[in-house]
Structure 1
């Protein structure tokens, strides 16, 4: 029977590790749900005036309202909509009544309408959410400045190109000219921790089952 002790310990330790990973994922799930709830509360909260010095940690997803006018020029960021197909997000410079220049993500236009001239409609009020997207990574191509084609919403780089503050507001009000708003929501934030937890727990059950199977075979051989 001593020959069974080491395999038994190995099996129990392996199962304990897998169960521990499952529990860790459940803890991550609780954390993510808290984060998503805070995001949803901020997204759906009453709008406030644009902060003087917006900060990502404090103001990300904050609902804001601002009055001013769109300035000439815009950036086209590749995007897509399930029911429409490929297209672009229109990122435009916006000058507030106080003279601040920020960026507004006006929304989505289909590929066929990309070249349509858009100049804004005079003084307008916009409501939206402050956002610091994490679209760009080390694999994101550099923008094609000749074609005004961008592959991610890199706030700092876009601000330099448009000569604005590094501040992006994703509009949920309609800014017109055929641009469809794409409001910020929590649906785009992945939350797969429950599935991960179930995977680890399932593997733990399989591990325990295989451990019992091999222990029984070893016991029969010993006897």
Structure 2
């Protein structure tokens, strides 16, 4: 008769419980992400709004049409990105002054090019409209409908570009738990049986 070793069995069961818990957590994250993406998909159909004067973490503004006024470009930043043909290159993000004070201003994606060099348009400014996007730091960017002179329009922001891999991660965690149980069952099965009739090892 084979007896399960207490501490190894306890450890394996604890790890399996942890992996199953992580899988369930990923399923809940998937439901949350799907609801968020549904809101994103509906945002473009909402009435246009003003680009937020103060950066606020309002997810309802992402992918919504908006407009603002860039009084003056104070800085250019080049970031890897694509144009509307899907070609790789550089997005040119302008930091704009929007008022006379030291406010947060606004970030505007004025277009795409193959070069990372800043556009030669220091006096660029004025009204701008487009779609609200966000970067990896959750900072809002207004992707302009019309590119600045010498640039092409950047790729249109879309919820389709937001990854949603939570269900795949959940399946992975459940598979890890199953594999751990199978490996442990095989290891226990191959152990010599305990008891009076067990053959001595040596």
TM-score by length of 2: 0.68
**Cα distance between partner residues in 2 of 1:94 and 1:102:** 7
Partners of 1:25 and 1:197 within 8 A in 2 = yes
Secondary structure of 2:136's match? coil
1:108 maps to what in 2? 112
The aligned residue for residue 145 of structure 2 is 173
Contact 1:74 1:92 survives alignment (8 Å): yes
Give 1:127's match in structure 2, choosing from 127, 130, 136: 130
Check 1:69–1:24 CA distance in 2 against 1; reply closer, same or farther (3 A cut): closer
Distance 2:42 2:190 in 1: 57
Instruction: Kindly name which structure, 1 or 2, has the bigger radius of gyration based on alpha carbons.
Output: 2
Q: Does the Cα contact within 8 Å between 2:73 and 2:94 map onto a contact in 1? A: no
Contact 1:174 1:181 (8 Å CA) reproduced:
no
Q: Deviations over 1:87-133 (max 9, x none)?
A: 2423153759xxx964422232220774544644x86552322x553
Confirm whether residue 3 of structure 1 aligns to residue 26 of structure 2.
no
Instruction: Please state whether the residue corresponding to 2:4 is helix, strand or coil.
Output: helix
Preserved CA contact (<8 Å) 2:16 2:181: yes
**Structure 2 counterpart of 1:24:** 25
The equivalent position to 1:205 in structure 2, one of 178, 186, 195, is: 178
Tell me, which stretches of 5 or more residues in structure 2 are unaligned?
Answer: none
Cα distance in 1, alignment partners of residues 126 and 117 from structure 2:
24
**In the superposition, relative to structure 1, how do residues 206 and 125 fare at CA in structure 2: closer, same or farther (>3 Å)?**
closer
Offset of residue 199 of structure 1: 1.2
CA 1:61 to 1:212, structure 2 compared with 1: closer, same or farther past 3 Å? Answer: same
| 3-state SS, counterpart of residue 111 of structure 1 | coil
Secondary structure of the corresponding residue to residue 129 of structure 2: strand
Task: Work out whether residues 170 and 182 of structure 1, in 8 Å CA contact, stay in contact via their aligned partners in 2.
Answer: no
Number of matched pairs: 188
